[in-house]
Chains A and B, each alone.
Chain A
Amino acid sequence: MRWIWFDRFEEFVPGERAVAVKNVTLAEDHLHDYFPAFPVMPASLMIEGMAQTAGILVGHARNFAEKVILAKIKQAVFHELVRPGDQVRYDARIEHLTNAAATTHGEIRCDGRLVGEVDLVFSHIDQNISGLEFPAENFVFTEEFMALLKTYTQRDTERITL
């Protein structure tokens, strides 16, 4: 299993906003394991989906040169359950972006209904105010990640016909 909690970007305005979608399917084990016989998408994984959407937006704003780490969940509120067959939209906006950190506001929707709100703080960990040092290699935005990102960004322009 890969730890990628959205399927594609629908909108991407660099430095401002990203919208990603996730199709929730019964093929995913977590739906069966969370509440057996009552498959719902765990809120924690929707926080992760928002963190990935917003984290890539924040990373892109500095050309993926920074190691962007989810540092704090400012707020996570959920209003209704997400079920198999639903398509979740993660709508993330950058509120603040500095050399050291970023904050984002996120809304999660299904069929236009607001199902959750997730506000996050990301750290550019090499710029941390405690002065801690980390390995030089970017272990957040890895080569594998950048290759995957390429497939996301080419998706609409290069349809593959058979």
Chain B
Amino acid sequence: MATPSRPEIFKKVQQALVDALSVEEDEVREDATLTGDLQAESIDILDIVFRLEKVFNIKISQEELTPRDILSNPDYVSNRKLNPAGLAALKERVKHADFTKFAQDPDIDKILDVFTVGTIVNFVEAKLAAAK
């Protein structure tokens, strides 16, 4: 089976988010943040993951999903801010997010803003490419 194109992946991700979060299609833009703009809660994230696994026939592990161990590692965090080593570890783990804005103020309470619709599309795209 041919790997779907990015617009095709976006369309399916968009549908999964519309179904999981009861949001309108036009709210699910590439730059919309999951927990901010789309108001996803932690259980919604799991629901979304299960939907993506089903739609794309992929497996997504807990480690890929949440970098909690990095955010709770005292070597990486002081005063709830990630140090450069922590940021590097985070970028290594969450490869498909854009950390440019977060790096300016690496407050761990703002980490969820990094996860946008585009991040998911990037993630799925890489996952499908790797599975080929």
Contact = CB atoms under 8 A, between A and B. Distances in A.
Interface of A: 71-72, 74, 95-96, 98-101, 103, 121, 123, 128-131
B53 interface: yes
Contacts of A129: 42, 45-46, 62, 65-66, 68
A99 B53 CA distance: 15
A128 B72 CA distance: 15
A129 B72 CA distance: 13
Instruction: Tell me the interface secondary structure of chain B in the complex.
Output: helix
A100 B61 CA distance: 11
Nearest to A72: B43
Interface residues of B, number: 16
Contact of A103 (B50, B62, B65, B68): B50
B47 interface: yes
Cβ-closest 4 pairs across A and B? A71-B43, A101-B46, A96-B50, A130-B42
A153 to B, nearest CB: 29
Interface in B34-92: 42-47, 50, 53-54, 62, 65-66, 68, 72
Contacts of B43: 71-72, 101, 121, 123
Contacts of B72: 131
